[in-house]
A and B are shown apart, each in its own frame.
Chain A
Amino acid sequence: MISKIEVYSPKTLQEAYLYLQHLHGRAKVLAGGTDLMVQLHDRLLVAPVYVNIWGLNELRGIEDTGESLRIGALTTYTQLIRSPLVRQYCPILIEAAQAIGGIQIQNRGTIGGNIVNASPAGDTLPILAVFEAQLELGSHHGIRVVPFNEFYTGYRQTILGPDELVVAIHLPKPSPSDRLFFQKVGSRQAMIISKVVIAVKAWVDGQKRIRSIQIAAGSVAPTVIRLRQTEALLQGQVLTPELIESARQSAMHEVRPITDVRSTEHYRRTITGNILSKFLCQL
């Protein structure tokens, strides 16, 4: 099986676009391989052709563009963890990266791969959702920029065209008054797929009034989701124990989890509500 697979390893991004254009839809993109190689090992998803982008250094690195951080799609979890810019502006992305796999996976897995693999359990995804990240998608036609929150259309479905690559992620810098929370719940701390993964970004003023709040969760719906009803319930309100209890109830009802090998629907609903409530109590 393996011996029949063709691989193209472009030397430049432009060359990668040309391969994807000419192989129209037949090719899968190979980045860090931490998901793809497992699927291959399990004899799943065997595309006849791979475009190996691992060598494209122009897709690596994190830069400060003023209003946001531009994170190259091939940036590994280890590179995120070691980035002073990420530590300064999005420390919860470091928490998420450290919660992914073990060191071996963090050295190889990429943020672009986490996005394109499109698992509802991707641990960085709720953070990109609450930061309202923008994705730079590239192809031989050029670059288009799309909101991360419009990238997924269904379970493992995205708007990425067959000839497109995710080139970079633009993560808007939070305002100094924003509080950030991240929590992953799994059966153990390392090497585990999340039962629930939650990120929250909130601005609460001195009078305990919620000026803005974004809440996102993974592993509780076919895609990562924003809990927009719960956000609306909290927006502009003063934090009280009653409000926090309403938000907990709302979050429990807003998620759409399933029971699977990792957890049950009931547990996932309950824990989503409880974690949100814990975060709100800390504000």
Chain B
Amino acid sequence: MKIAFVVNGETRQVDVPPMKRLLDVLREDLRLTGTKEGCGEGECGACSVFVNAEVVNSCLVPICQVEGAEVQTIESLASDDRLHPLQETMLKIGGTQCGICTPGILMAAKALLDQNPHPTRDDIRAGLSGNLCRCTGYVRIIDAVEICARNTGGPSVSLSTA
């Protein structure tokens, strides 16, 4: 089945089975391997991407439901040579260790900050509740999102606590 959709601002067309997971189309057909597969059953959030500006688990979305949609993946976060402030903060605060959950965490965190630029720590916990991390214990992830939210008034991110 031929399906056209927009990925990170670019129109792409794939010819794949209609029930193929968006996750697999991104990784296998479009070679966008930043999106990770964790559990494959919607429990861990590692495969989080945006479909029409909403964060979803790409392992639970069949490609037939993406026809004409706009998809944003982790590859869209950095622009040119500049990391997104969330990425920079996660690095500096130590919110990433093995890294498998990180792309999904970043997408969920971006979804949260898009909706709620000044979240409380509880808002951050709720916003990231669909994402599992087995390394960090979450504290530094939540710190990173909190610090990023506090700092992203201006164009550059300054980290007083780092």
Contact = CB atoms under 8 A, between A and B. Distances in A.
Interface residues of A, number: 30
B130 A108 contact: no
Contact of A103 (B41, B127, B132): B127
Contact of B60 (A2, A3, A34, A189): A34
Q: What interface size band does chain B fall in?
A: 20 to 34
A263 interface: no
Contacts of B64: 7, 9, 52
Contact of A102 (B45, B59, B62): B45
A191 B19 contact: no
A7 B62 contact: yes
Which has the most chain A C-beta neighbours within 10 Å: B41, B59, B62?
B62
Interface in A21-59: 30, 33-34, 37-38, 40-42, 50, 52, 54-55
B108 A2 contact: no
A104 B57 contact: yes
Given A104-B42, A104-B48, A191-B43, A37 B129 contact: no
Given A30-B62, A41-B41, A3 B17 contact: yes
A77 to B, nearest CB: 12
A38 B48 CA distance: 15
B18 A105 contact: no
A217 to B, nearest CB: 24
Nearest to A190: B129
A236 B126 CA distance: 41
A55 B45 CA distance: 24
Given A5-B18, A7-B18, A101-B130, A37 B54 contact: no
A37 B131 contact: no
